[in-house]
Amino acid sequence: MPLKLTRKQARAVLIAAQDLLDIPASASKADVLNTIHTMHVLQIDTIHVINRSPYLVLWSRIGDFELDWLTDLLAERKLFEYWSHEASFLPIEHFGYYRRIALDSQKRWMIHSRTWLDENPAVLDEVMTTLRANGVARSSDFERTDGQKGGWWNRKEQKYALECLYNLGELVIVGRDKFQRIYALREHALPDWDEAGIPARDETLETLTEKAVAALGVATPAWATDYFRSIRRETVENIQRLLDRGALKTVAVEGWAEPLVYHPDNEGLIERAAAGELVPTRTHLLSPFDPIVWDRARLQALFDFDYRIECYTPAPKRKYGYFSLPILHRDEMVGRFDAKAHRKDGVFEIKALHLEPGVAPDDDLRDDLARELKRFAAWHGTPKIKLTFANDKQFGKALVKAMK
């Protein structure tokens, strides 16, 4: 009999494929690397009212860990950075695929990078001279001489040149100093890299499609397209070729007229889910840029959770807060909380806690959420927890009591 999943079971497969079933008793640097290999991509974002997103994504999966482990792996060349879903940490084994993408890309911002460097040869020469003389370069190595203040939309020319060269794959980020990028020429950073080893475009796109599907547990073409921000038409074609070869398979999922696709490596998870044996039991605090969350359409379709990050929304128009984190309780999105870590005072402030409409909080949710919030706050060096607002006042009071 062909396999068929309910939507609840499909969620369980996604949670398992994303390494969220459990966390290790004690995390190691190897766990950081293994987790990124499982997800295939770790999105970078620098907002840090609590902590920067890549650290939050890792904490959800491995628990307390040393932040330096991530940048150590970058310096050890076990990871590299490039544009994927967005700017991301990626396994070094995937470098060839992204080198192919860099060489072939006709995206407007890539064309602009080439054009800008051609039109600013003096700036390019200054940056290249510094890179060759010092081996590495930071934006801070270059003094601003135009008298203007810096900013996101007003970067100094040398920083812009570094970013253009990085976009084109000519520079590799070999480390971070207080999370600021340290650049090196590709040939210096990866002396053993052979350009002759770059995979063909067809192989690259098929491989990334396979990895996207594997990371999602089960997937529609739209979900697979979004995972690495690929081109929809090419993803659809790749899925069909992979299905024809047996490299992907299909499974019926409740609520979808067409079968979803899955990677054979996940067949055991799907069989367990269909038999009712794959049951998530943990509560997770998720970054807004977690792979579970980042595809808002998938999040709505699979979890019935309408989520938007509001840091770019004017404060008076925010409904949930500047940087609200989704709460995954077992296999349901039950709410979100906006928080800030006041490290100087040792206080973790939950500025707003919102449970979803229809969620009837029970003792299990109270105790699980209290435990996770206490662990989360302690990891940030802010063990004192303050709850400022809860849309369910009774639950808020019970949660505060449980956290003491």
Give me the pLDDT at residue 143, please. 83
Nearest CA to 222 out of 298, 284, 299 is that of 298
- pLDDT tier at 145, thresholds 50, 70, 90: low
State yes or no: pLDDT of 2 exceeds 90: no
Give me the pLDDT at residue 144, please. 72
Rg (CA), the chain: 23
Give me the pLDDT at residue 147, please. 57
- Cβ-based burial of 73 (10 A; exposed 0-12, middle 13-18, buried ≥19): buried
Give me the pLDDT at residue 233, please. 96
Give me the pLDDT at residue 387, please. 98
Give me the pLDDT at residue 1, please. 57
Tell me if the pTM is above 0.85.
Answer: yes
State yes or no: pLDDT of 225 exceeds 90: yes
Q: Which residues of 337-376 are buried (b: 16+ CB within 10 A; e: fewer)?
A: bbbbbeeeeeebbbbbbbbbeebebeeebbebbbebbbeb
State yes or no: pLDDT of 154 exceeds 70: no
Give me the pLDDT at residue 149, please. 55
β pairing state of 171-177 and 180-185: antiparallel
Sign of the four-CA dihedral 17, 22, 24, 27 = positive
According to DSSP, the residues that pair with 5 across neighbouring strands are 253
- Cβ-based burial of 302 (10 A; exposed 0-12, middle 13-18, buried ≥19): buried
- DSSP E strands, 244-299: 249-253, 260-262, 283-285
Give me the pLDDT at residue 71, please. 95
Q: What are phi and psi of 4, to 5 degrees?
A: -145, 135
How crowded is residue 296: how many other Cβ atoms within 10 Å of its Cβ? 14
How crowded is residue 74: how many other Cβ atoms within 10 Å of its Cβ? 21
Contact 21, 15 (CB under 8 A): yes
Tens digit of pLDDT for each residue in 29-65? 999 999 999 999 999 998 989 999 999 999 999 999 9
Alpha carbons 110 and 141: distance in angstroms, whole number: 25
Among 1-10, 58-67, 144-153, 238-247, name the one with the lowest average pLDDT: 144-153
Give me the pLDDT at residue 152, please. 43
β pairing state of 4-5 and 249-253: parallel
Tens digit of pLDDT for each residue in 71-99? 999 999 999 999 999 999 999 999 999 99
Tens digit of pLDDT for each residue in 337-361? 999 999 999 999 999 999 999 999 9
Among 22-36, 153-167, 283-297, 366-380, name the one with the lowest average pLDDT: 153-167
Please work out, in degrees rounded to the nearest 5, the angle formed at the alpha carbon of residue 94 by the alpha carbons of 89 and 100.
110
Average pLDDT over all residues of the chain:
95
